[in-house]
């Protein structure tokens, strides 16, 4: 049923992913320079106004999670498939964090910069928790349906 608690968890996770797409996720502080660069999911806005699209994969990962989450919300009749979609969203979010670590440990030292995560850095983790809670709720519903079939 679409009005179940896991649907609310998925909607909250979707909103958090969309908010994270819109907000800056951190700052790059260059050694020896006073100006910082603003890092979003799609680009790095340099102090001189130019943009570097070296972090585009962060945007793609979160953008892929959004329609998959919508698909999971409307797949309430097929609980096993819905659990797989929740797991896929969890994987995409974990890959987003792996990509952010790649920025921090590979790209930033190349640019002689230090990455300072912003508030929006936490949002995908919170959505990851909500994906887990949704998957657990779908799994509980599936167990309940199977137990009712066993009783008949």
Separation CA 98–CA 83 (nearest Å): 23
Per-residue pLDDT at 3:
62
Per-residue pLDDT at 64:
96
Cα of 103 vs its chain's centroid, Å: 16
| pTM for this prediction | 0.89
pLDDT by residue (tens digit) across 56-114?
999 999 999 999 999 999 998 899 999 999 999 999 999 999 999 998 888 888 877 88
- Dump strand ranges (E) for the chain: 26-30, 36-39, 44-45, 51-52, 113-117
| Beta-bridge partner residues of 37 | 28
How far, in Å, are 36, 47, 80 from residue 32 at the CA level? 11, 14, 54
């Amino acid at each position: 049923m679409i009005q179940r608690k896991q649907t609310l968890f998925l909607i909250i996770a979707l909103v958090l992913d969309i908010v994270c797409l819109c907000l800056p996720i951190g700052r790059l502080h260059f050694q020896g320079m006073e100006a910082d660069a603003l890092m979003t999911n799609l680009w790095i806005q340099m102090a001189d106004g130019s943009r570097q699209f070296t972090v585009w994969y962060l945007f793609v990962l979160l953008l892929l999670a959004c329609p998959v989450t919508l698909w999971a919300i409307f797949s309430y009749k097929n609980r096993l498939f819905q659990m797989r979609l929740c797991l896929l969203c969890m994987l995409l979010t974990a890959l987003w964090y792996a990509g952010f670590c790649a920025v921090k440990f590979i790209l930033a030292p190349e640019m002689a910069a230090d990455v300072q995560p912003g508030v929006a850095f936490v949002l995908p983790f919170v959505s990851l928790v909500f994906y887990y809670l949704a998957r657990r709720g779908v799994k509980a519903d599936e167990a309940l349906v199977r137990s009712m079939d066993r009783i008949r």
